[in-house]
Structure 1
Amino acid sequence: MDGPEEPVRQEFLRILSDDYGYGRADMETEFPIPRGSSKPDRADIAIFSGPGRDPAADIVGIVETKKPGEKGGKAQLKSYLTATSAVWGVWTNGSDIEYFCKPLGQSSVFDDRLHNIPVKGQRIEDVGKVTREDLTQYSGAMLKSSFRRILNTLYANTTISRREKLGNEMIKIIFAKIHDETTYVDQPPSFYVGYEEDAALVKERIDRLFASVVEEYRNDGLFEQNERITLDAKGVAWAVGQLERGSLIDTPTDVVGDAFEVFAESKFVGEKGEFFTPRNVIDVAVKIVAPKPDETICDPACGSGGFLIATMRRMWDLMARGRRWGSLSPRRLQRAQEQMAKRCFYGIDKEIDLVRIAKAYMAISGDGRSNVVHENTLHAASDFMPDAKARFVVGDDFRVFNCVMTNPPYGTKAKVLADDAVNFELGHAWTQSMDGKWRKGKPRDSDPYMLFVERCFEMLEDKGRLAIVLPETAFHAPSGRYAYLREYITSRGRVLAVIDLPHNTFRPYCNAKTCLLVMRKGESAKPNDPVIMAEALEMGHNHRGEEVYRPGTDEVWDDLAVIRDELDDPTSESNEFVFTVPWSEVEECGHMVPRYYAARRTAAPSSPPKGRQWVVLGDLVDNGHIGAWDGHGSPSGAQKGAGSIPYIRVKDIVNWELYRDPTSGVTEDTWERFTRNKPSVNAGDVIYVRRGSYRVGTVAMASNRDDKILMTRELLTLRVFDHSDGITPYYLLALLSSRAVQDQTASLTFYDTTLPTIGDRWRELRLPVHMDAGERQQMSDRVRAVIELKWAAQNDIDDLRQRIGEIVT
Structure 2
Amino acid sequence: MIELKRDGKGKIYSHIRKKWLHETPEERVRQEYLIILVNEYGYILDQIGEEVAVTERGSGNARADFLIWRTQQEKSEGKKPLIVVECKADNVTIDQRTYAQGSNYAQYVGARFFVTHNHRETKVFKVDHEKMAPNFDEIENIPHADATDKQIEVLIKRLKVFKEDEFADLLHKCHNIIRNREHLDPAAAFDEIAKILFIKTGVERRLRAGRVAKNIFTAEFLDEQKVVMDDPINSLFDQTKKEYRADKIFLEGEKVQLKHPTVVAIVKELERYNLSDTSEDIKGIAFERFLGRTFRGEIGQFFTPRPVVEFMVRFLAPKENEKVCDPASGSGGFLIRTFEIVREAILADADAEYDDFKQRLDEDKEIDEAEKAKLLSEKYADIQSALDQTREDSRMWKLSNRSIYGTDANERMARTSKMNMIMHGDGHGGVHHHNGFLNVNGIFEGRFDVILTNPPFGASVEPTDKVTEAQVALEPDVEKLYEERYGDPYREARGRLKAAVGSSIASLFELPKSEKSKIKTEILFIERCLDLLRPGGRMGIVLPEGIFNNPSLVHVREFVEDRARLLAVISLPQETFGASGASVKCSLLFAQKFTDAQQSDYDRIKAESRNETDAKYAAQIDAERNRLNTLIENAKKEKNTESRKAVQKELADYEKRMEALIASESRALLKHRFNYPVFLYEAAKVGITATGEIDSNELYPNDRLPTGITLTALELYRQFEADPTSFFV
TM-score, length-scaled by structure 2? 0.50
Q: Which has the higher contact order (CA 8 A, sep 6+)?
A: 2
TM-score, length-scaled by structure 1? 0.45
Higher helix share: 2
